[in-house]
A and B are shown apart, each in its own frame.
Chain A
Amino acid sequence: MVTLSINNINVEVPEGTTVLEAAKKVGINIPTLCHFEGKKPLGACRVCLVEIEGGRALAASCSTPVAHGMKVFTNTKRARSARKTVVELLLSEHNGECKTCDRNNDCELQNLAYQMGIEDIRLKGEVAKPHIDKSTPALVRDNGKCIKCRRCVTVCNEVQAVGALFPQGRGFSSMISPAFMSDLETVACVQCGQCAAVCPVGAISERSHIDDVWKALDDPTKMVIVQTAPAIRAALGECFGYEPGTLVTGKMVTALKQLGFDKVFDTNFTADLTIIEEGTELLMRLKDKIVNGKKVALPQFTSCSPGWINFVEYFYPEYTENLSTCKSPQQMFGALAKTYYAEMLCKDIDEIVVVSVMPCTAKKFECQREEMNASGIQDVDYVLTTRELAKMIKQAGIDFTSLPDSKMDSPLGLSSGAADIFANTGGVMEAAIRTVYEIVTGRELPLENLHVEPLMGLDGVKTATLKIEGTQPDWSFLEGVELKVAVAHGLSNARKLFKSIENGEEYHFVEVMTCPGGCIGGGGQPRFTDDSVRQKRLAAIYAEDEGKELRKSHENPDIKRLYERYLGKPLGETSHHLLHTHYKKKEIFK
């Protein structure tokens, strides 16, 4: 341990801690625009300057390790004025108009300028060139607003191991962008939007569907139905001042109804459906291998996360057979809404508009994939992120905090706790295990609270083994089999998992979620998401699950009804047509 003093307050921290982190421990916030939790400091933004006794120059606290007896002063005139000058310099190059910026009121640079009392841009000079990239369905980049903090570079390269973004060029004319300053569409970007989630300013944002959704809501000839992903309910409240991890399911439903959606449904419903289809698919693969001696692709990979699908298609195309053929819950919902539900109402599919609220930017890409039109037209029309939904609620003048609770509509609104936990890393796997175990043994999963403890939490790669005993006659071939599963979140962890598989580690089933923490940490969630926020959202989702009577997907009565009335059986012909898809190899260099 190292003892030092910060503003004359003594603090003891482990060796290797930075001054910035040590200060935080004693309640002193040093401003920074480039700091990235858990990653090697870059010292790129220079905003975190502090004075250290005996030091000739001011030090960047994010990249200065503590030393014994060190005396740090964060609040001297010299330090304050230097930090202010750095922010003024950033502002002098920043080519943005706060009033009309997507990040107005949600911008770290604007916030700092306000905190520091900067009332005038004293320094005039050349400003960054606006260079707008709207090439992908998910994201919009504007280089003019970029302050070159490189958080997006860190997240894209180190957290996601995708490497689409890197500084190009040198000095003032440099740009954070894909190779040769090209557009995102021309490179292997998975469109996860983690770059947009960590950007301190308005340089990377989701591509907004707000105007399209308002247009649909304003059109009396359209029936507009909305589905909400499980992760929204644990995060939306943050946009209205609630603590992270506050569940706002009921208020969210009321708000959606007040916005004018004709029906408010739940992506959770099709999450339950996914478990039935994907669990059955896993059992079929195991049967084909063990009983029929067929060559099948194992482990089976989950397929709910569109960034992950892109990742496999780009970087591990030899594994596309391993991906479950199940569409994601969003797309299953879209397909059912424009077939099953439309037929139920005797509506023409052109009259129905399906809107999703997702924690995800890649979902905007997914809904536009050419395979996603089981109904004959695009199944999901528009995708709003959690942040966009919050904006619409504010635009409509709805006082979110004082809203009463409402319930989701029927018949696509009822869901089990197993569906809720789709939001969390490890959740899809746990939900699948709850169902698969019960199908195979006829008994409930014998684990406390139905949780598979080793698969919970924020460890990057998690594994579990479950011995199957006392099987039902149909599944006797699984007697004594140890079901081995693995879970990864954050694509750099997926790479680690691939490495272990390539080194001979055998799993039956693997869950990968693109974003750290799972969907609760998605690229479309309220900013700013760090591990403490992730933990709170994870806990909220588990609380939602545990609070339900219905905890298992196969017990959802509306799912049973759906099979009886419409789909027939899992993996049946109708399911195959509506709920399953295929994948393709994508070229890294286009």
Chain B
Amino acid sequence: MSLEKCPECSKEPTEDELLAQFEEILDGYVGKPGGLIPALQTAQKLFGYLPKRVLQLISMKLDIPYSEVTGVVSFYSFFTTVPKGKYMVRVCLGTACYVRGGKDVLAALEKELEIGVGGTTSDGLFSLDVGRCFGACGLAPVIMVNDETHQRVKPEKVKEIIDFYRDIEMTIIKEKAG
């Protein structure tokens, strides 16, 4: 499933519209043992994260206590209850990147963005995560910002990379303002 865009106006569906869509999907999990994790995965794919009201809906429909639903969500790092930023910054901590200073790059990113791993900046622009080998070991250490790879990153280069995306955003805002 992907974010279905309206074919006529090509607008992103609102969260309310997605909720209605999700409620229908959720019916398929009612009464099925082991339905919680697939339901959560589906929800995260649809919404991009797990909003509280979606978790409450899952709890009610699947008749599983809310504390258990959130317990499962908070156990698996795959699940997130905060919307992901526009730019997903992922730091490779696979063996090659790790030995070539991936951890220092991560620390520099945490400092620059003022968030931890799994977090999202308050302006909703950047999310930070770690990965285990992007298959670019010769270019280590590597970070990815959405689909773009940045190679041989040094901690002192981190600000420059982030500023590049910040600038793009500034330009968009200025254009919108006319």
Contacts and interface: CB of A to CB of B under 8 A. Distances in A.
A165 B69 CA distance: 11
Nearest to A157: B65
B165 interface: no
Please name the 8 residue pairs, one residue from A and one from B, whose CB atoms are nearest each other, closest first: A163-B65, A166-B67, A179-B70, A166-B71, A179-B67, A169-B74, A166-B68, A179-B66
Contacts, number: 44
Interface in B106-132: none
Given A180-B74, A589-B56, A168 B67 contact: yes
Contacts of A170: 74-75, 77
Main secondary structure of the interface of B (DSSP, over half): helix
Contacts of A41: none
| Most B-side CB within 10 Å, residue of A164, A165, A168, A179 | A179
A162 B56 CA distance: 15
Contacts of B81: 180
Chain A interface size, under 10 / 10 to 19 / 20 to 34 / 35 or more: 10 to 19
Interface string B21-57: 0000000000000000000000000000000000110
Interface in A161-197: 162-170, 177-180, 187
B127 to A, nearest CB: 19
B68 A163 contact: yes
Interface string B64-105: 111111110011010001000000000000000000000000
Nearest to B67: A166
B75 A157 contact: no
Contact of A187 (B64, B66, B71): B66
B70 to A, nearest CB: 4
Interface residues of B, number: 15
A180 B69 CA distance: 10
A177 B66 CA distance: 11
A162 B65 CA distance: 8
A163 B75 contact: no
B70 A180 contact: yes
A326 to B, nearest CB: 30
A166 B65 contact: yes
A27 to B, nearest CB: 38
A177 B71 CA distance: 9
Interface in A51-74: none
Given A163-B64, A167-B71, A179-B55, 16 more contacts: A163-B65, A163-B67, A166-B67, A166-B71, A167-B75, A168-B67, A168-B70, A169-B74, A169-B75, A170-B75, A178-B67, A179-B71, A180-B70, A187-B66, A187-B67, A589-B66
A59 to B, nearest CB: 26
8 contacts: A157-B68, A162-B65, A163-B66, A163-B68, A164-B65, A168-B67, A168-B71, A169-B74
